[in-house]
Chain A
Amino acid sequence: MTSLRPIILLVVSNLKTFLREPEAIFWTYVFPLLMVIGLGIAFSSSTGQSIWFDAIEGEAADRIVSALQDNPSFQVIVNSEKVAFARLRKNRTPVVVGPSDEGGYAYYFDTSNPEARAAQAVIDDALQRAAGRKDAFPAKEVIIETPGSRYVDFLVPGLIGMNLMGGGMWGIGYVLVDMRIKKLLKRLLATPLRRSHFLLSVVGTRLVFFIPEVFFLLIFAHLIFDVPIRGSVLAITAMSFLGSLAFAGLGLLSASRAQRIETISGIMNVIMLPMWLFSGIFFTSERFPGFLQPMIQALPLTQLNNGLRAIILEGDSLFSQVLPISILLAWSAVTFVLALRWFRWG
């Protein structure tokens, strides 16, 4: 068992160094949490929000205010004509309502703005009804807000994926280049420690770290925002493990030759930027045009996010995630082989 002792001690040393670095803890644990809280609050209150619009002061505005004052869906802001149109131009209000020559109301809005269009239709509807229009048939509104389909539910697995990517890339890429600059890699090379054991310990450290990273965020989101955890813990762990492995490989590859911190930061940003954009962290990657889709689907983070969403939100089993698993494994294999071939110690 003596042959495993160096690996264990190296992993323990890495863990200690990490835990003694308050900044690292902030960026790994606190920052993603703040992002969930911020984005969760910003987007969770969007349903049931009342519509704000401007009315041009005068007799028509008085009629509008009295017609809608008992309707909680509307907030009427009465302004002079000049102020109201200025607000419309600056997009501070979606619609301005004023009197029309035919005795009714005139709606001023930008037809290319879908939010304004919808607001205009709802406002007109409410005003017509207030003026006595009868509906042709009774319409019933059913508001749906089930956990799992809200924005925050979409967001949390994406943030977990992003966190695994950042952790893998920085946790390995940065640490290795830092050790190379400090000549620690060279110093270790001069001991009987096997190179493979050293690299194993670096990757092993990441594989110890990903578990708290994933579940800390997930449990928090579950408790605060009621984000569902429908899949099994084992499936979530396994999918996160595969993601961590792929990003560990990418981190190792990025760090294989870099001699300076500036170089490794640049390399990693170039690798991570397309994934931040395309891999569906904040919005679904299906929004991008079809010709980009093959590239997008080949990115490891896209597949990790897809896999995590399917397991966490839909309760899918691990084995149904064939595409994410195979693409993540392919990334791991290719990056590890190349990294080991190119790795520079001195």
Chain B
Amino acid sequence: MEVLPNLACVGSSLLNLFWSQRCRTYHAPPVVAWPDSGQNELFTFSMDHAIVCRNLYKRHQDGNKVVDALNGLNLVVRSGECFGLLGPNGAGKTTTVEILEGLLPPTSGEVEILGCRWGTGQDQQLRERIGITLQETRFQEKLKVWEILELFRSFYTQAMTTEQAIATVALEEKEDSWVRDLSGGQRQRLAVATALIGEPELLFLDEPTTGLDPQARRRLWDVIRDLRERGRTVLITTHYMDEAEKLCDRVAVVDQGKVMAEGSPNQLISQLGGEHIIEFSLETNGANGLQPHDFLALPAVIRAVKEAEGFLLTVTQPHLAIPAVLELVDRRNGKLNSLTTRHANLEDVFVSLTGRFLRDD
């Protein structure tokens, strides 16, 4: 009776070895030139790329409605970087990561993860090399933190110890607590611990900080930065632009199932043409009749958008733009209620790309 499982075990480890070797030494043709979709990166298979996906479409039925969750999404994530998918709720971020994670089949399109493709007999081996957190996972309320980690650890052939995983996410104090007694932030860190216990090369974190208080968010950021410093590739989805700016080497702005722009946060901001934002509001009783295009004519102003009570201007040189703005408002008998200036951020990038605000969603 003892022989059977042994044989099965030896057999499956041999198979593991075979597939993992095959998977790791997969040599892509030097350049498979996918048509450049207007972005900087060539879509090529290469060992430097942890994730390559091209022309992803996902259509599903929602009642009587046909919903196109993804509309030709292209993405390249390089090995060792922390990459952010930034977009409002419903932009298609979760659909994208679940397709990348092999949990959801795309309607069409190609996906390559660590040089492997899902559904080609290498899934098991690929799962050994990636770690994920879902947007929401509720672990059994009455299991202890270490018990859950011990369980997840047993799924991997190579794994760090439970103690190491607990230390990585700084949950030592709660090691012996039931999940029921953890705060939202601690549950999220436990979820991250289950994702990294198998020493993955690539981590997917789907909205890991949504719903957490600022302190818990910063703690989780520390964990993610730490992972990145240890050479892991991290793909993170978020609808917080500050999170993307602080954590990510590069981000892709996603809206309506497409990548609108891709690059480092600084690159994207500088693509606005101006890195400064002037926001001001006017007293409403002054019948000044000012419109955004009136400001576009002013020096150093690149973009002008009307906000609820005033205007938002993107400018290259505030010291030229501000006096001109003041002079124009004065000339039209307008009266300023407030005026602030700040550096442009990813929110402004999103507004300039979509005409909508991230934070509204």
Q: Which A residues form the contact surface with B (CB < 8 A)?
A: 1-6, 9-10, 13, 16-17, 20-21, 182-184, 186-194, 346
Contact = CB atoms under 8 A, between A and B. Distances in A.
Contacts of A1: 5-6, 9
Contacts of A21: 142
Contact of A9 (B5, B140, B154): B154
Contacts of B101: 190
A186 B191 CA distance: 13
A17 B142 contact: yes
A190 B128 CA distance: 9
A20 B142 contact: yes
28 contacts: A2-B9, A2-B157, A3-B8, A3-B9, A4-B9, A10-B151, A13-B143, A13-B151, A16-B142, A183-B137, A184-B138, A187-B134, A187-B137, A187-B194, A189-B103, A190-B101, A190-B103, A190-B127, A190-B132, A190-B134, A191-B127, A191-B155, A191-B156, A192-B124, A192-B128, A192-B155, A192-B157, A346-B104
Given A182-B139, A183-B134, A183-B138, 9 more contacts: A3-B12, A6-B151, A6-B154, A9-B150, A16-B142, A186-B103, A191-B152, A191-B156, A191-B198
B136 interface: yes
B154 A5 contact: yes
B147 interface: yes
B279 to A, nearest CB: 40
A189 to B, nearest CB: 6
Contacts of A10: 151
A182 B128 contact: no
A3 B5 contact: yes
B155 A16 contact: no
Contacts of B140: 13, 17, 184
Interface string B151-176: 11011110000000000000000000
B133 to A, nearest CB: 8
Contacts of A13: 140, 143, 147-148, 151
Contacts of A188: 155
A184 B139 contact: yes
Interface residues of B, number: 35
A6 B154 CA distance: 5
Nearest to B144: A16
Interface string B84-124: 00000000000000000111100000000000000000001
A183 B136 contact: yes
A255 B142 CA distance: 22
Contacts of A190: 101-103, 127, 130, 132, 134
B116 to A, nearest CB: 13
Chain A interface secondary structure, helix, strand, loop or mixed?
A: helix
A4 B140 CA distance: 22
Contacts of B143: 13, 16-17
Nearest to B127: A192
A10 B143 CA distance: 12
A193 B178 CA distance: 23
Q: Which of B140, B156, B157 has the most CB of A within 10 A?
A: B140
A66 to B, nearest CB: 69
Contacts of B155: 6, 188, 191-193
Max chain B C-beta neighbours (<10 A), residue from A10, A21, A186, A188: A186
A182 B179 CA distance: 13
B106 to A, nearest CB: 15
Nearest to B151: A9
A2 B5 CA distance: 10
B157 A4 contact: no
A9 to B, nearest CB: 5
B137 A192 contact: no
A19 to B, nearest CB: 9
Interface string B1-42: 000011011001000000000000000000000000000000
Contact of A182 (B138, B147, B151): B138
Given A10-B151, A187-B137, A189-B103, A194 B5 contact: no
Given A16-B143, A16-B147, A346 B154 contact: no
A186 B138 CA distance: 11
A18 to B, nearest CB: 9
Contact of B137 (A4, A20, A184): A184
Interface in B184-210: 194, 198
A10 B6 CA distance: 20
B97 to A, nearest CB: 11
A217 B137 CA distance: 38
Nearest to A190: B132
A177 B30 CA distance: 47
A17 B141 CA distance: 8
Contacts of A9: 150-151, 154
Contacts of A192: 124-125, 127-128, 155-157, 198
Contact of B124 (A5, A20, A182, A194): A194
Contacts of A182: 137-139
A345 to B, nearest CB: 8
Contacts of A186: 103, 134, 137
Contacts of B152: 191
A189 B103 CA distance: 8
A344 to B, nearest CB: 12
Most chain-A Cβ atoms within 10 A of its Cβ — which of B127, B151, B155?
B155
Interface in B236-260: none
Most A CB within 10 A of own CB, among B154, B178, B198:
B154
Nearest to B197: A191
A1 B178 CA distance: 29
Contacts of A193: 155
Nearest to A181: B138
Nearest to B153: A9
A21 to B, nearest CB: 7
Nearest to B5: A4
Contacts of B125: 192
B273 to A, nearest CB: 42
B2 to A, nearest CB: 9
A193 B101 CA distance: 15
9 smallest CB-CB distances across A and B, nearest first, come from A182-B138, A20-B142, A192-B127, A191-B155, A193-B155, A6-B154, A187-B137, A5-B154, A3-B9
A5 B106 CA distance: 33
